[in-house]
Amino acid sequence: MLQAPQRTGLSGPTLIRLLTRLTDVDVPQSRQPLSDHLSQWLGWTDAIALSAALNNRPPAIAPGARTFSSAEERECERVRATLADAIASDTAATAAKRLMPGQVPAKVAALQADDADYSNFRQRYLSLQHTMETSIGNLRSRLRGMVAAKTPEMTRLAVVDAIMDRALLPRERSLLGAIPKLLQGHFDRLRLAEQAALDAAAAQAPADTGATAGTDAAEPAGAAPQPAVPAPKPGAWLETFRKDMRSVLLAELDIRLQPVEGLLATLRAS
């Protein structure tokens, strides 16, 4: 089976380390501080809005805002669990076929692998990204409103979060939207590696048969028999790709939920 490209040690989020391991893109680790990156990503209008939010008097607390409680904690857990379940069920079902009576699972897996089209996986990845963005965006807005209802300083924090959310969303979409294209290379390499292994095993089979039949020229007298290279299970590469795609999506989910976790921590501490 395919061996993932080896990379030098890379620190950072699980998503970055996964993509580094699964793809052939070798990007050196940035030494630039996060603040410098942010200054490049924010437009001048965003910078003005942030300056005003940080330096001016906080806006008045909106009356009648909903307060934070254990119900919101449970809602956050529910959203995370729902999205994780959607990722697990969707990636397992992508390109899958139902077993018909009398069919052998191994043969069905091989047929699925032969018919697999990456465009199906790409479309499902994009669909799951849209679901994550919508669900988490709604949750973040809800928590932000609760933060804003606490104190004037918390209101300031909520305004800053809203500005950063709006300013960085295009950049987030651009960066995360590139992931399906990166995974296509992994998809193709897994498929080609399994085919090469199957071809090598098929080419070795006649030689093994001749040696078994007693051909003296096959091996020198007294030589230790060469172990046969086991052929891979046909179609196993597709299940490997599904698992890898699932891992990447779950790591992306963790990244997307970080602002929500920050708002939750603020509400718990207030």
pLDDT at residue 18 is higher than 80: yes
Predicted pLDDT at 112: 62
Per DSSP, helices labelled H in the chain are 14-22, 34-41, 44-55, 70-93, 105-115, 118-148, 152-177, 179-212, 236-256, 258-269
Q: Which amino acid is at 189?
A: R
Predicted pLDDT at 62: 63
Predicted pLDDT at 163: 92
> Once rounded to an integer, what is the mean pLDDT over residues 173-190?
94
Predicted pLDDT at 150: 87
> Once rounded to an integer, what is the mean pLDDT over residues 96-124?
65
Predicted pLDDT at 204: 78
68 pLDDT tier (thresholds 50, 70, 90): confident
The predicted-structure confidence for 191-228, as pLDDT tens digits, reads as follows 998 888 888 887 876 655 555 555 554 555 555 555 55
> Once rounded to an integer, what is the mean pLDDT over residues 51-76?
78
Read off the pTM. Answer: 0.79
The predicted-structure confidence for 26-46, as pLDDT tens digits, reads as follows 666 667 777 777 777 888 888
Q: Which amino acid is at 5?
A: P
> Once rounded to an integer, what is the mean pLDDT over residues 44-61?
82
Predicted pLDDT at 63: 64
What is the rounded CA–CA span in Å between residue 215 and residue 141?
A: 76
What is the rounded CA–CA span in Å between residue 102 and residue 125?
A: 32
Residues whose CB falls within 8 Å of the CB of residue 191, separated by 6 or more in sequence, listed in order: 113, 116, 237, 238
What percentage of the chain exceeds 90 in pLDDT?
43
Predicted pLDDT at 269: 87
Domain boundaries, the chain: 76-201+232-270
pLDDT at residue 87 is higher than 90: yes
pLDDT at residue 256 is higher than 70: yes
Please give the angle made by the CA atoms of 14, 19 and 25, to the nearest 5 degrees: 140
> Once rounded to an integer, what is the mean pLDDT over residues 38-59?
83
Predicted pLDDT at 92: 61
